[in-house]
Amino acid sequence: MILKMMKAGLLALCVCAGAARPVAAQTMQWTDKGFVTVNGGVQVGSHDLATVQTFDLFDETATVASAAKVKSGGFFDVGAGYRVWQNVAVGLTYSFTSSDSNAAISGSIPDPIRTDNFRSVSATASGLQHKENVLHFNATWMMPVTDKIDVGFTAGPSVFFVKQELVSSLPTTEPGPTVGTPVVSNEGKTTVGLNAGVDVTYLVSKKWGVGGIARYTWGSAELGDGGDSLTLGGLQIGGGLRMRF
């Protein structure tokens, strides 16, 4: 269902962008001073998250490795832009997306009696939450298609504020060891990435309209004591309200 929505959204945006070509040749001037956008939709794509955490146990170091797949989820954004030169506007957009995932855990647990005798254990942690609060700093080229339809091409840097639940330790009891419920901690990181997209607006009045957006965002953050970096962002397809001023 998500793939069908993606194809339909991209097709509609491409059709509108294609329709803008003959207009571009006429160099139609965008006359509004600025815009406000509000969107909801889905962020498509999943990213692998591998982490390694260590903690002290029996005067030695226990190791817990986890592997999860951060899934796609819904997103919401609100943004604004102001024309600074001809058809060029600069602006800022805030977006939020969240999802949850399950992690497969493998651990190396020291022996309470014998030194350097590590035992292998395994477990599963479910419902690990992932949240992305993102600020997109954009330059937008507005291309009027008709007096009611505009196509905006946007690009710029993004600042990701990421929060991810990670498995921080794995309680065990002896003999065994017998594994208990994994202990989860919330880790936050801030990192810089990129964004680029296409926004189509249809004005139902002079100031108000509706629109659709296809935007790709990208970032990367290192989480946990070790392991791979987590890729952030993805393809966002959505739509919502538009206002001109």
Question: Which pLDDT belongs to residue 172?
Answer: 87
Higher model confidence: residue 201 or residue 168?
201
Whole-angstrom distance, CA of residue 175 vs CA of residue 57: 14
Mean pLDDT of 119-133: 94
Res 6 pLDDT > 70: no
Question: Which pLDDT belongs to residue 224?
Answer: 73
Question: Residues 239, 243, 244, 245: what is their CA dihedral angle, to the nearest 10 degrees?
Answer: -150
Token output for 50? 């591998």
Cα R_g (the chain), whole angstroms:
24
Domain segments of the chain: what residues?
2-244
Res 204 pLDDT > 60: yes
Measured between alpha carbons, how far apart are the two ends of the chain, in Å? 36
Confidence of residue 226 (pLDDT cuts 50, 70, 90): low
Mean pLDDT of 207-223: 96
Q: pLDDT tens digit string along 13-59?
A: 444 444 444 444 455 899 999 999 999 999 998 899 888 888 898 99
CATH fit for domain 2-244, picks 2.70.98.40, 2.30.30.100, 2.40.160.20, 3.50.50.60? 2.40.160.20
Q: 193 and 215 in contact (C-beta within 8 Å)? A: no
Mean pLDDT of 77-95: 97
**Mean pLDDT, rounded, of the chain:** 88
Mean pLDDT of 75-95: 97
Question: Which pLDDT belongs to residue 2?
Answer: 41
Confidence of residue 225 (pLDDT cuts 50, 70, 90): low
Question: Which pLDDT belongs to residue 198?
Answer: 98
Q: Is the pTM of this model over 0.85?
A: no
Res 61 pLDDT > 50: yes
